[in-house]
Chain A
Amino acid sequence: MQRALAAAMKGASDMLPLSFAVLPWGILFGSLAVHRGFDWFEAQLFSGIVFGGAVQIVTVELMANNASLFTVLFSAFVISSRHFLYGLALRERLSIKPLRWRLGLGFLLTDELFALSGDRRAYRNRFRLYYALGAGGSFYLAWNLWTFLGIFAGTSLPDLTELGLDFAIAATFLALVLPGIKTVASFSAAVVAGVASVTFTLWEFDLGLVCAALLAMCVGFSIQKIRGQF
């Protein structure tokens, strides 16, 4: 039990930079929701059960503008579609685990938790599951706490999104990605992902992230196949 707790604490501490990096957006969401006429309970409920930064900020705006239910749900689906990729990537490891682990970790499977799932042994044993629970759970608590701050103190807080805390997300993801880039195939995939994602972002293409990632995966895989033949 003690080792499980230690594993969960390790997960939480590895997640800490990311938990703090999303503080401005949690606060932004909380104050935005209240500003757009949602009551505190609805605003907190968003973070409590929807639990997705971009989805929440976009849909709360759409709902405030009286967009149709279909538009709201479809936008959420488009933004959320990258999670299919995470589920597929982790399917082999998690689909064999007990239901409570699948439900719990599935609910907590954000970009940030997926970022910490790259280890070869991730989710393989009980302690790795507790590690993920600590990482994902602490991120959930942080996101809800920042939302709470935004709801109740949003108007008296300065806009922190210009502060550049998103840099911490970029730096953390770089630190997680770079050690794994050891082959021509993985290097090519990373370059394609970067170029495509920046291009799609400039085009303001909503499915840009997923498409850039899929394109990069295909390039990496193709190069691996071609090189394997010689």
Chain B
Amino acid sequence: MNILTILLLASVTFGTRYLFLEGRLPLRLGSNVKQLLSYSGPSVLVAICTPIIFVHDHRLDTSLDNPYLWGAAVAILAGYKTAFNIYWCVGTGTLAFVLVNYQG
């Protein structure tokens, strides 16, 4: 029974991922829709990462001892200095995060 449910769950996640990749789906994207979708990448990624930074224990955390805030600020600064090299951003950001997180 569990196995069957897991198989159905797999078809749900795969279905949502695959549906619009299917060429035979009768759907043509007009130029307006394509322009709208060009904003999907940044929009989704920002929407995923901002709650990680700002919401902890179901509360808004904008205090200066929020390590995520410091880490993000340093990662952004490092990004502007290194043409947004992922390793520099994550590395220096994490360092700042760890320093603030474990200082007290």
| Chain A contacts to B: CB under 8 angstroms | 14, 17, 38, 42, 45-46, 49-52, 55, 59, 63, 69, 72-73, 76-77, 80-92, 94-96, 102-103, 105-107, 109, 111, 114-115, 117-118, 164, 166-181, 185-186, 189-190, 192-198, 201-202, 204, 209, 212-214, 216-218, 220-221, 224
Report whether B44 and A95 are in contact in the complex, using a CB–CB cutoff of 8 Å: no
With a CB–CB cut-off of 8 A, which chain B residues contact A202?
Answer: 55, 58-60
With a CB–CB cut-off of 8 A, which chain B residues contact A118?
Answer: 41-42
List, sorted by A's number, 5 A–B pairs whose CB atoms are closer than 8 Å.
A111-B44, A164-B101, A170-B75, A173-B49, A189-B42
Report whether A193 and B90 are in contact in the complex, using a CB–CB cutoff of 8 Å: no
| Chain B contacts to A: CB under 8 angstroms | 2-3, 5-10, 12-14, 16-23, 25, 27, 29, 32, 34-37, 39-55, 58-60, 67-68, 71-72, 75-76, 79, 83-87, 89-90, 93-94, 97-98, 101
With a CB–CB cut-off of 8 A, which chain B residues contact A204?
Answer: 58
Most chain A beta carbons < 10 A, residue from B6, B47, B51, B72: B47
Given A77-B12, A177-B42, CB of A169 within 8 Å of CB of B48 = yes
With a CB–CB cut-off of 8 A, which chain A residues contact B42?
Answer: 118, 177, 180-181, 186, 189-190, 193, 216, 220
Report whether A102 and B21 are in contact in the complex, using a CB–CB cutoff of 8 Å: yes
Report whether A89 and B2 are in contact in the complex, using a CB–CB cutoff of 8 Å: no
A-side binding surface: helix, strand, loop or mixed? Answer: helix
Closest B residue to A90 using CB positions: B21
With a CB–CB cut-off of 8 A, which chain B residues contact A218?
Answer: 36
With a CB–CB cut-off of 8 A, which chain B residues contact A105?
Answer: 21
Alpha-carbon separation in the docked complex, A91 to B36 (Å):
14
Alpha-carbon separation in the docked complex, A80 to B11 (Å):
11
Closest A residue to B18 using CB positions: A106
Given A92-B29, A180-B42, A209-B44, CB of A171 within 8 Å of CB of B72 = yes
Given A38-B2, A178-B76, CB of A170 within 8 Å of CB of B87 = no
Alpha-carbon separation in the docked complex, A186 to B83 (Å):
18
Report whether B17 and A107 are in contact in the complex, using a CB–CB cutoff of 8 Å: yes
Report whether A69 and B8 are in contact in the complex, using a CB–CB cutoff of 8 Å: yes
Report whether A190 and B17 are in contact in the complex, using a CB–CB cutoff of 8 Å: no
Q: Which 6 pairs of residues, A with B, have the shortest CB-CB distance?
A: A87-B20, A175-B89, A197-B47, A216-B43, A106-B18, A220-B39
Alpha-carbon separation in the docked complex, A104 to B57 (Å):
37
Task: For residue A109, give the distance in angstroms from its CB to the closest CB of chain B.
Answer: 4
Task: For residue B24, give the distance in angstroms from its CB to the closest CB of chain A.
Answer: 9
Task: For residue B38, give the distance in angstroms from its CB to the closest CB of chain A.
Answer: 8
Closest A residue to B54 using CB positions: A198
Report whether B20 and A91 are in contact in the complex, using a CB–CB cutoff of 8 Å: yes
Given A55-B9, A178-B79, A217-B40, CB of A42 within 8 Å of CB of B89 = no
Alpha-carbon separation in the docked complex, A138 to B101 (Å):
30
